[in-house]
């Protein structure tokens, strides 16, 4: 019984160290479910193809996303680190495509937003949801890729970092042997989405630069286009 209790405590401790990224993925999945159909990937396909997708196709997209999400959760709960990393990479790739589709679909729906139907406020809400999803998706991307992942960063096995934080640049009292955590990548992603560039963190590798560029571009288009149209509708 004592062994079971100790094993359970160790399991809880191991899962707790990386629970933040799971919470982020859960919020991403939840926010995506709040988007109206027109702002989803199948919704964009309908707008581009000018045809109505079969309900089974629409459900297939939703089933695929939630299946990937559950695969990440199950692998994480079982402590299958390689499977968790691979599944997270696939899930992030899918929801990133979905995010880009939402931004394009948001632009496509701008002309039909009407003031008499509360179009301005609904537009601001849709843009806000997409912006939050943007921040969370790229937070997990940065956390997943920087220096080969969180486990390598903790163990000091990272051969080359993708980001360089201020705590790593200077010998600050109380910050010796500091390693970036999930909140640091959340702060980085928030700054990139709001200021359209990292503020205090250096982006080093080509892949990190492409991720930051993509995030800033999606955020800029979302905020600029949505804000301009919303102001036009509300006034």
Domain total in the chain: 1
Burial class (CB in 10 A: 0-12, 13-18, 19+), 176: exposed
In this structure, the strands spanning 202-203 and 163-164 are: antiparallel
Is residue 11 assigned to a domain? no
Sign (positive or negative) of CA dihedral 84, 214, 65, 129: positive
Asked if residue 37 belongs to a domain, the reply is yes
C-alpha 112/C-alpha 62 separation (Å) is 26
* CA torsion angle 174 178 182 185 (round to 10): 100
Is 13 part of any domain?
Answer: no
Write the CB contacts of 192 (distance below 8 Å, at least 6 apart in sequence). Answer: 138, 198, 212, 215, 216, 219
Q: What is the pLDDT of residue 8?
A: 47
What's the pLDDT at 46? 81
Structure tokens at 66: 């939630």
In the chain, which residues have pLDDT < 50?
8
Q: Print the domain residue range for 163.
A: 19-234
| Structural domain contains residue 10 | no
Element (H, E) at 163: strand 163-164
71 inside domain? yes
Residue 130 is predicted with a pLDDT of 93
Residue 103: per-residue pLDDT: 92
Residue 8 within a domain:
no
Tell whether 159 is covered by a domain. yes
Residue 140 lies in a domain: yes
């Amino acid at each position: 019984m004592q062994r079971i209790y100790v094993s359970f405590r160790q399991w809880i401790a191991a899962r707790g160290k990386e629970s933040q990224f799971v919470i982020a993925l859960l919020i991403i999945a939840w926010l995506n479910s709040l988007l109206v159909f027109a702002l989803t990937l199948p919704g964009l396909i309908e707008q581009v193809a000018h045809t109505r997708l079969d309900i089974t196709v629409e459900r297939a997209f939703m089933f695929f996303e939630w299946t990937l999400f559950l695969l990440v959760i199950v692998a994480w709960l079982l402590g299958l680190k390689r499977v968790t990393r691979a599944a997270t990479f696939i899930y992030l790739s899918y929801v990133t495509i979905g995010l880009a589709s939402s931004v394009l679909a948001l632009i496509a729906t701008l002309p039909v937003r009407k003031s008499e139907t509360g179009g301005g406020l609904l537009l601001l809400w849709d843009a806000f949801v997409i912006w939050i999803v943007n921040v969370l998706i790229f937070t997990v991307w940065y956390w997943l890729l920087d220096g080969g992942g969180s486990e390598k960063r903790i163990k000091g096995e990272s051969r080359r970092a993708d980001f360089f934080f201020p705590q790593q640049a200077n010998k600050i009292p109380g910050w010796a042997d500091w390693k970036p955590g999930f909140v640091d990548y959340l702060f980085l992603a928030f700054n990139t989405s709001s200021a359209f560039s990292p503020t205090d963190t250096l982006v080093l590798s080509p892949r990190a630069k492409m991720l930051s560029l993509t995030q800033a571009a999606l955020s800029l288009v979302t905020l600029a286009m949505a804000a301009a149209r919303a102001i036009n509708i509300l006034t």
